[in-house]
């Protein structure tokens, strides 16, 4: 009897301590004319891949997964689908930083010294990226993704064991509930991580019913996935171009049960949109968010935008990522711990080698790494 085995090729990365697993081979072509359509197909018909790589024995719910797919936009060099414990966020700053770094550092997108522009296509649209390369290493990524907007202010919900929790609802690639940490006794120190996770879990469960799930352009985006705890803001000097640099402790909870190690890119973007709405920050100013574990992202206010009827804000997020591992994992579909009910059909057949070759590839070409020609431009 032939064993049902498949192979996935992964690049494991981390940004601010949050691990992103980049799937670069082993998944067959997905139906859909856009990255968003491919993501929605995977969500409805192939969620086994997400569960496999974020669950024991293959992974951990605190990780993220980014699947490289063919882009649909002519400017994009690659597309990527983001998968987390909460499901399929349409955009993520830390995952974008990790994906861009992995594609450059591994040579799948040719890397050049100095500043380099990269365009990736997320399910939400284009992520325009500036990569800084020094001595053959990607030392920082600055990414501009989804414009953020304040969807609702002054909301409140009664949370069992915690009482009334006031929050604002902000879109920045997903919906975030923005919570004043000090109001609930948190300083966002490392010792509070377990308590923050418990609070976030109880809050999201209580807040979800009846809360907005629609985006003006992207349609149904699902129930509330994130809570962002905001610490006090303090002025931390000026920027090189004469603007103000602020900093603030911050923490992002991902439902169910994950407190991010980084302050998160979309959480930082949401914070900028809320501060701008309140007149607390201006174009060109920066906010450095600091997670309970001490990792940092820098958000910069850019120009105003419009999303449907909502005044919105463009911003950029700057952070760095590290490539930690390059691996091939064997997926045993006969293993009782592997739920193959919506998995096998999205994986490449083993006899296809999980990759497509069409002759010798020159150094630096995507095919030299076993990539189908159409995936990377």
Largest CA distance in the chain: 70
Q: Which two tokens stand for residue 119?
A: 């365009």
Q: Which two tokens stand for residue 221?
A: 């985006």
Whether 92 is a known active-site residue: answer yes
Active-site residue among 15, 92, 250, 295?
92
The rounded distance, in Å, linking the Cα atoms of 210 and 128 is 34
The rounded distance, in Å, linking the Cα atoms of 127 and 145 is 5
Nearest to 31 by CA among 22, 41, 17: 41
The rounded distance, in Å, linking the Cα atoms of 177 and 163 is 16
Nearest to 146 by CA among 268, 42, 256, 38: 268
Q: Which two tokens stand for residue 358?
A: 């069409």
Element (H or E) spanning 180, and its range?
strand 175-180
Q: Report CA-CA distances (Å) from 164 to 159, 206, 224.
A: 6, 10, 18
The rounded distance, in Å, linking the Cα atoms of 310 and 306 is 6
Residue with tokens 């605190």: 62
User: Which are the contacts of 363, defined by CB distance < 8 A and separation ≥ 6?
Assistant: none
The rounded distance, in Å, linking the Cα atoms of 106 and 370 is 12
Residues annotated as catalytic are: 92
């Amino acid at each position: 009897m032939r064993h049902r085995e498949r192979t996935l090729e992964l690049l494991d990365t981390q940004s601010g301590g949050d691990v992103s697993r980049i799937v670069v081979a082993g998944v067959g072509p997905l139906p859909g004319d856009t990255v968003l359509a491919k993501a929605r197909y995977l969500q409805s018909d192939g969620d086994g891949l997400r569960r496999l790589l974020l669950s024991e024995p293959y992974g951990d719910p605190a990780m993220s997964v980014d699947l490289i797919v063919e882009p649909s936009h002519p400017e994009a060099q690659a597309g990527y689908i983001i998968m987390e414990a909460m499901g399929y966020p349409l955009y993520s700053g830390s995952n974008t930083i990790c994906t861009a770094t992995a594609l450059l550092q591994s040579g799948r997108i040719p890397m050049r010294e100095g500043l380099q522009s990269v365009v990736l296509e997320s399910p939400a649209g284009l992520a325009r990226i500036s990569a800084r390369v020094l001595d053959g290493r990607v030392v920082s990524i600055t990414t501009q993704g989804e414009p953020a907007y304040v969807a609702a202010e002054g909301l409140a919900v009664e949370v069992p064991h915690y009482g009334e929790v006031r929050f604002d609802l902000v879109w920045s690639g997903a919906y975030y509930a923005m919570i004043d940490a000090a109001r609930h006794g948190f300083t966002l120190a490392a010792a509070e991580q377990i308590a923050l996770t418990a609070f976030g879990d109880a809050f999201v469960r209580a807040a979800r019913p009846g809360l907005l799930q629609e985006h003006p352009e992207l349609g149904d985006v699902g129930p509330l996935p994130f809570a962002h705890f905001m610490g006090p803001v303090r002025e931390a000097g000026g920027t090189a171009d004469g603007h103000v640099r602020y900093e603030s402790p911050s923490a992002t909870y991902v439902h169910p049960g994950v407190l991010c190690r980084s302050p998160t890119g979309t959480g930082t973007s949401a914070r900028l949109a809320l501060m701008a709405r309140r007149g607390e920050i201006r174009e060109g100013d920066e906010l450095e968010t600091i997670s309970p574990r001490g990792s940092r992202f820098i958000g910069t206010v850019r120009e105003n935008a419009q999303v449907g009827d909502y005044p919105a804000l463009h911003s950029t997020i700057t952070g760095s990522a590290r490539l930690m591992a390059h691996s091939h994992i064997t997926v045993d579909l006969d293993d009782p711990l592997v739920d193959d009910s919506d998995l096998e059909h999205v994986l490449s057949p083993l006899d296809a080698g999980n990759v497509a070759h069409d002759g010798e590839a020159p150094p630096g070409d995507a095919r030299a790494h076993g990539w189908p020609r159409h995936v990377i431009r």
